Structure 1
């Protein structure tokens, strides 16, 4: 009798271990599939730029997605971001130099920023290009922005050529020239 009870207990324990193993495996497999799906949804080179429309500080609505007359630089930033502050003079200088050949959109992560700080930043750095306001954070989510500044270069066909954080001004200008010439 003792032997039978022992065998039954071993079988029960073995069954619990097997079932727990299956549950753990399925949990990790689901997380891997979700992570893979999230990576696929993120903007990446040689894919269409996710489309959006946002209102800018100037009151106009600007759109990204689809074909355009000119290539586009889309820069995600916030007024409280130190690297954004370092990058701002370079963006202004490059916009002034290539105005008419490429569009610049500065997408402010407004959901995590203050309007008075945004306006002060834009005035201080003399941004002449549209400053779009992502007040609900939806565009930041769409583009999977996890750190700023983040810049995407988009060709006339609406295809992302590349995405990067901060670059040396000479390297940024080189990439802008390549985009204009392509």
Structure 2
């Protein structure tokens, strides 16, 4: 009888441990590490339209942090526009301007001069900059269609790098 009780207790503990592991694997951990769900945020475009990152779930996303005063960021934007024009059915480009370190007028002029057509939102208070612990810029997160971070890229990306990083995930 003691052996039976000990066996049942052991099976119960093993079952509980297995249940805990499965429960943890089914929950998405939010954070900045590869494999975590990307932290959600909402910012506005120059024309006042609010966009929430989670609204883009269901498609791949390049989440890019940039500023007009940053030479590598400026060099990356034409590459990003080229990528967006060719891949916007499969991948959304979502650019966060660090407006807390920039001005709305400069952002507006830059977008117009460079013919940017992908969504650009303004981080006027620097909250998303802090949330994503961005330093240096440009920095991009490549997020899969389920909202999971698959890559982090620090520095300016080329068109080919954008293609490679987005095609390497589901």
TM-score, shorter chain, exceeding 0.5: yes
Question: Do structure 1's residue 176 and structure 2's residue 166 form an aligned pair?
Answer: yes
Question: Do structure 1's residue 164 and structure 2's residue 153 form an aligned pair?
Answer: yes
Q: Which runs of 4+ in 1 moved over 6 A?
A: none
Question: Do structure 1's residue 145 and structure 2's residue 151 form an aligned pair?
Answer: no
Shift of 1:115: 1.1
Shift of 1:171: 2.0
Shift of 1:66: 7.9
* Cα distance in structure 1, aligned partners of 2:82 and 2:158: 13
Pairwise mapping of residues 23-42 of structure 1 onto structure 2 (< 5 A)?
none
Q: Is the 8 A contact 1:42 1:142 kept in 2?
A: no
Residue equivalent to 1:69: 58
Q: Deviations over 1:27-62 (max 9, x none)?
A: xxxxxxxxxxxxxx9612101101101111232111
Greater alpha carbon shift after TM alignment, 84-93 vs 98-107: 98-107
Greater alpha carbon shift after TM alignment, 42-51 vs 137-146: 42-51
Shift of 1:110: 0.4
Gaps of 5+ in 2: 1-29
Residue equivalent to 1:19: none
Shift of 1:63: 0.9
Q: Structure 1 residues 67 and 125, CA, compared in 2 at 3 Å: closer, same or farther?
A: closer
Shift of 1:73: 0.9
Shift of 1:69: 2.2
TM-score (norm 1): 0.72
Shift of 1:169: 2.7
**What number of residue pairs does the alignment pair up?**
140
Q: CA RMSD in A?
A: 1.7
Gaps of 5+ in 1: 1-40
Q: Secondary structure at the match of 2:33?
A: coil
Shift of 1:96: 0.2
TM-score (norm 2): 0.77
Q: Is the 8 A contact 2:38 2:143 kept in 1?
A: yes
Greater alpha carbon shift after TM alignment, 169-178 vs 119-128: 169-178
